Every structure is written in structure tokens, then in C-alpha cells.
Amino acid sequence: MENKPARPNSYLALAIISTILCCLPTGIVSIIYATKVNSAYEDGQYDEANKASRNAKTWGLVSIGIALFGWIIYILIFGVAFLGAIANG
């Protein structure tokens, strides 16, 4: 019997949530890598499964980071405009 390493986390939930709620393009990349984890693991390509797992996590976090950056910019722009309107008026 072959000694298999532990199956790496696919981060599929992170990928789906980040795609729906955050940033579509990078979220899709995360989903693609997340779906490769299990198939690579089942094919015995354990290094490839680990690499896909790391990439899925990275792209999911990048998606969340882009969304947070976008919200911060949005709040700064409209917050400054709102405060300017209050001060003038």
C-alpha cells in the first residue's frame, strides 16, 4: 500500500466566495486552481496538488485584497465629497 500525504485544502469555498463577493477575474483563477487540487491528488501528483492549493489560496486572497482596496478608494472619494458638500452647505 502506498503512503499518501494528506490531501491539501482546495480552498474552493474561499474561491467561490471571493468570486461572488469580491473580484470576478481573480476569483475565477482561484476557482480554476481549487478544482485542480483534488484531481491532481487522485492522480498521485502530490506536488502539483500542493502547488494548486497554494495558488488557489493566493488568488482568493488577492481577490479579497482588490475588493478591500476598491472599497477604501470608494469610501475616500465619496466621503470627501460628502464632507465637502456638508462644509459648503
What is the structure's pLDDT at 81? Answer: 87
Are 12 and 34 spatial neighbours (Cβ–Cβ below 8 Å)? yes
Q: If DSSP states are collapsed to H, E and C, what string results for the chain?
A: CCCCCCCCCCCHHHHHHHHHHCCHHHHHHHHHHHHHHHHHHHCCCHHHHHHHHHHHHHHHHHHHHHHHHHHHHHHHHHHHHHHHHHHHC
What is the structure's pLDDT at 58? Answer: 97
pLDDT digits (tens, 9 = 90+) for 30-63: 999 999 999 999 999 999 999 999 999 999 999 9
Q: How would residue 84 be classed by pLDDT, with cut points 50, 70 and 90?
A: confident
Are 8 and 53 spatial neighbours (Cβ–Cβ below 8 Å)? yes
What is the structure's pLDDT at 1? Answer: 52
- Percent of the chain at pLDDT above 70? 97
- Taking residues 21-34, report their average pLDDT: 94
Task: Provide the whole-model pTM.
Answer: 0.84
Residue closest to 50 by CA, chosen among 13, 9, 15, 16: 9
